[in-house]
């Protein structure tokens, strides 16, 4: 049962707003620059990102999967889009052609999610994604996010060197959040992330008074399909279906882990509603130059840290985030949140997701052979994450985004190994003599 609204739930909602902001604000900015959009169009895209992400979180919490788990621009799709656009540019392809192919691929992938979800495909995914595959997914997602946030904490400059004052402040913020969470009691522990963002932002503004975003959200022109008019490209469409499948699997991973926190089993109707809502927002996303949506398994880190599971907190956070899109000056203000501050706070928050990955394996026993089913996909995925992107440029352009994505490769390898293990187990039963 949901508790009545209390000051604690209200503060949790503000904390959710900052969590959503730090996870999403960089995406439209980087993609707008990648596709050479005007500053006005980037501003408009950022504003629409606030609106749609806030709406998606509210609808999912109230009518979709009904957990306090956010929906937003998918990290899997982000990596795929960045890699494909960069590879296409190196190969001499037009960014407009690539953008149009991506727009068509996004919409087809969203339709696939809606159709497969309505047909009960979640049953297939939940069978494929057993505790080992879910644990591999969470381990790799933790590693990917921690690498990203660690880089943001260091304030890496164009020359590849860290900004020492920024790095020192970020480490201080991370230590403050960690100590507040571990040693603090009651509200201090529950709202350690919010305190870290507020005090960290104030500290950053005092130490670096001239820093800040110059992004202006007012008077931005509206252009539909800013990356390029939709065009069917077989290679991009095929790869989009594969990435779309991985994105659906992330929903299974997130909801399977969430049900353990909530102490309840996720029903097939919850999966159907979740896929329907995410699919609809995915179909809509390329119209405004946004990434397809996905369910954030990383939300589990926040839930584990705060222990506040009420859906109403996410609804409040989503509503506040939506307001940032409706009120341009507010959106412009909060888009100035320093990347290093957000990265430092989320670095601590996502440590909890590693614990979720470990607990998913609780009760599992591995021997010298079965350990490969866990070690191979995780270590292979991490190895790919640490391999320079240029290494994969010899591969066909549409394979590069998949082959260079350690999370995708690790999950696919894990699913394959579990299928082989299941097949081997069945064969052993068939040849075993009756007792």
Q: Is the pTM of this model over 0.75?
A: yes
The band of 213, judged by pLDDT with boundaries at 50, 70 and 90, is very low
The band of 216, judged by pLDDT with boundaries at 50, 70 and 90, is very low
Q: What integer is the mean pLDDT of 90-111?
A: 85
Which residues are within 8 A (CB) of 59 and not within 5 positions of it... i.e. 6 or more apart? 277
Q: What integer is the mean pLDDT of 46-68?
A: 94
Given a contact cutoff of 8 angstroms between Cβ atoms, the answer to whether 400 and 85 are in contact is no
The band of 138, judged by pLDDT with boundaries at 50, 70 and 90, is confident
Given a contact cutoff of 8 angstroms between Cβ atoms, the answer to whether 5 and 296 are in contact is no
pLDDT at 199: 92
Choose the most confident range, by mean pLDDT, from 68-77, 235-244, 417-426. 68-77
Which residues are within 8 A (CB) of 289 and not within 5 positions of it... i.e. 6 or more apart? 28, 31, 32, 35, 37, 41, 45, 225, 226, 227
Percent of the chain residues past pLDDT 90, beyond the cut: 33
pLDDT tens sequence across 329-355: 887 777 778 888 888 888 887 787 787
pLDDT at 273: 95
169-to-6, 173, 269, 412 alpha-carbon distances in Å: 33, 6, 46, 39
Tell me the sheet residues that pair with 294.
72
pLDDT at 357: 83
- The torsion angles phi and psi of 371, rounded to 5 degrees, stand at -65, -25
Helices (H), 184-310: 187-190, 192-207, 234-262, 268-284, 299-306
Instruction: Say yes or no to pLDDT of 60 above 90.
Output: yes
Among 340, 242, 260, 338, residue whose Cα is nearest residue 297:
260
Instruction: Say yes or no to pLDDT of 111 above 60.
Output: yes
Buried b (16+ CB within 10 A) or exposed e, 356-379: bbeebbeeeeeeeeeeebbebbbe
SS3 416: helix
pLDDT higher at 3 or 118: 118
Instruction: Say yes or no to pLDDT of 313 above 90.
Output: yes
Q: How far is the C-alpha of 344 from the C-alpha of 140, rounded, in Å?
A: 19
Among 300, 27, 248, residue whose Cα is nearest residue 142:
300
pLDDT tens sequence across 153-192: 888 877 778 889 999 999 999 999 899 888 887 778 778 8
The first and second tokens of residue 133, run together, are 């595959």
Q: How many CB atoms lie within 10 A of CB 120?
A: 12
Least confident of 259-263, 395-399, 428-432: 428-432
Given a contact cutoff of 8 angstroms between Cβ atoms, the answer to whether 224 and 288 are in contact is yes
The band of 5, judged by pLDDT with boundaries at 50, 70 and 90, is confident
The first and second tokens of residue 3, run together, are 């508790």
Q: What is the full DSSP assignment across 72-105?
A: EE-HHHHHHHHHHHHHHHHTT--HHHHHHHHHHH
pLDDT tens sequence across 220-232: 567 889 998 999 8
The band of 218, judged by pLDDT with boundaries at 50, 70 and 90, is very low
Among 7, 32, 425, 74, residue whose Cα is nearest residue 281:
74
pLDDT at 427: 57
Q: What integer is the mean pLDDT of 242-251?
A: 87
Block residue for tokens 């539909």: 224
pLDDT at 90: 58
Q: How far is the C-alpha of 391 from the C-alpha of 173, rounded, in Å?
A: 35
Whole-number average pLDDT of the chain:
85
Choose the most confident range, by mean pLDDT, from 37-46, 177-186, 316-325, 341-350. 316-325
- Measured in whole angstroms, the distance separating CA 143 from the mean position of its chain's CA atoms is 13
Q: What integer is the mean pLDDT of 60-88?
A: 85
pLDDT tens sequence across 378-426: 999 999 988 887 788 788 877 877 788 888 889 899 999 998 888 776 5
């Amino acid at each position: 049962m949901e508790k009545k609204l209390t000051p604690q739930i209200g503060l949790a909602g503000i904390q959710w707003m900052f969590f959503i902001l730090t996870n999403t604000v960089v995406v439209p900015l980087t993609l707008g620059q990648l596709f050479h959009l005007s500053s006005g169009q980037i501003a408009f895209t950022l504003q629409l990102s606030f609106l749609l992400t806030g709406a998606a979180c509210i609808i999912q919490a109230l009518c979709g999967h009904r957990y306090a788990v956010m929906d937003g621009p998918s990290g899997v799709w982000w990596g795929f889009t960045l890699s494909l656009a960069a590879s296409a540019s190196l190969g001499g392809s037009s960014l407009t052609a690539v953008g149009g192919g991506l727009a068509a691929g996004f919409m087809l992938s969203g339709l696939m999610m809606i159709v497969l979800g309505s047909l009960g495909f979640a049953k297939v995914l939940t069978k494929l994604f057993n505790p080992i595959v879910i644990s591999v997914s969470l381990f790799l997602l933790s590693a990917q996010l921690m690498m990203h946030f660690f880089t943001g904490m260091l304030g890496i400059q164009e020359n590849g060197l860290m900004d020492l004052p920024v790095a020192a402040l970020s480490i201080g913020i991370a230590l403050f959040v960690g100590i507040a969470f571990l040693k603090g009691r009651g509200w201090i522990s529950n709202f350690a992330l919010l305190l870290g963002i507020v005090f960290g932002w104030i500290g950053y503004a005092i130490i670096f008074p001239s820093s800040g975003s110059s992004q202006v959200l007012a008077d931005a022109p509206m252009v539909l399909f800013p990356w390029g008019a939709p065009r069917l490209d077989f290679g991009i469409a095929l790869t989009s279906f594969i990435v779309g499948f991985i994105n659906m699997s992330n929903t299974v991973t997130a909801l399977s882990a969430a049900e353990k926190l909530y102490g309840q089993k996720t029903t097939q109707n919850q999966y159907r509603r979740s896929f329907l809502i995410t699919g609809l927002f995915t179909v809509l996303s390329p119209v405004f130059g946004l990434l397809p949506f996905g369910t954030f398994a990383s939300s589990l880190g926040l839930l584990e840290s705060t222990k506040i599971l009420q859906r109403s907190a996410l609804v409040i956070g989503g509503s506040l985030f939506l307001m940032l899109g409706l009120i341009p000056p507010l959106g412009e203000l909060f888009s100035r949140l320093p990347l290093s501050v957000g990265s430092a706070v989320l670095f601590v928050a996502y440590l909890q997701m590693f614990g979720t990955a470990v607990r998913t394996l609780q009760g599992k026993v591995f021997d010298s052979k079965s350990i490969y089913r866990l070690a191979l996909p995780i270590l292979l995925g991490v190895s790919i994450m640490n391999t320079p992107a240029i290494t994969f440029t010899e591969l066909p352009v549409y394979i590069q985004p998949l082959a260079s994505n350690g999370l995708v490769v690790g999950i696919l390898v894990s699913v394959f190994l579990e299928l082989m293990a299941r097949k081997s187990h069945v064969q052993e039963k068939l040849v075993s003599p009756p007792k």
